[in-house]
């Protein structure tokens, strides 16, 4: 374990707080959180101001017990984050391909079939591909949005996953 993982800082990131709330070892990658949601939370944290980071902490309980299998969850979060990045006017071939793949996995239509040609497993997509695409999308979007918009995006990721029910009160 790295030295970073052993030291509890006074202001943890939201994933570190989740690890404590879930009674897991101190980490920013708690096993009780879906890898794609965890990537979104880390990326939003990394691109937020200190005040924006503190504002993410009330969301921590919503992440607990979200680590369920299935390509649908990952694809919904990827589609949401990539759509947000593309809406900022920042386009790249990688983001377009990520969006096409996510939409294909959700609907079975479109140009996302390249993912299937590689015969990647659901687990590989969920653990490696989708989190990387989410992190890249949030990094791109962060150039054009503020802390409040990043926090809103993270809440939308939770809602896309089903961790936030539409209409349910959410922390500000």
Residue ranges covered by each domain of the chain: 3-161
Question: Per the structure block, which two tokens stand in for 63?
Answer: 């992440």
The sign of the CA dihedral 140, 84, 60, 32 is negative
Instruction: Compute the C-alpha angle 47/53/54, nearest 5°.
Output: 170
**pLDDT at position 36:** 95
**pLDDT at position 100:** 81
Q: Assign residue 4 a region: left if phi > 0, alpha if psi is -120 to 50, beta otherwise?
A: alpha
With 0.85 as the threshold, say if the pTM is over it.
no
- Determine the Cα–Cα distance for residues 93 and 99; give it in Å rounded to an integer: 10
- Determine the Cα–Cα distance for residues 165 and 154; give it in Å rounded to an integer: 14
**pLDDT at position 70:** 79
**pLDDT at position 25:** 95
CB distance 63 to 21 below 8 Å: no
- Determine the Cα–Cα distance for residues 150 and 59; give it in Å rounded to an integer: 13
Q: Which residues of the chain have pLDDT under 50?
A: 1-6, 165-172
**pLDDT at position 27:** 94
Q: Which value, to the nearest 10 degrees, does the dihedral of the CA atoms of residues 154, 159, 164, 167 take?
A: 110
**pLDDT at position 107:** 79
């Amino acid at each position: 374990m790295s030295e970073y993982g052993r030291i509890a800082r006074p202001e943890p990131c939201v994933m570190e707080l989740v690890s404590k709330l879930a009674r897991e070892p101190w980490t920013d990658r708690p096993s009780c959180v879906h890898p794609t949601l965890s990537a979104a939370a880390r990326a939003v944290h990394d691109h937020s101001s200190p005040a924006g980071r503190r504002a993410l902490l009330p969301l921590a309980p919503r992440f607990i017990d979200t680590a369920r299998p299935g390509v649908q969850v990952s694809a919904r979060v990827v589609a949401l984050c990539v759509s947000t990045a593309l809406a900022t006017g920042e386009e790249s071939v990688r983001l377009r391909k990520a969006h096409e793949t996510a939409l294909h996995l959700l609907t079975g239509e479109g140009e996302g079939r390249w993912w299937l040609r590689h015969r990647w497993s659901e687990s590989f997509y969920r653990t490696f591909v989708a989190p990387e695409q989410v992190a890249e999308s949030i990094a791109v979007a962060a150039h054009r949005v503020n802390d409040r918009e990043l926090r809103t995006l993270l809440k939308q990721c939770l809602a896309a996953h089903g961790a936030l029910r539409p209409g349910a009160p959410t922390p500000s």
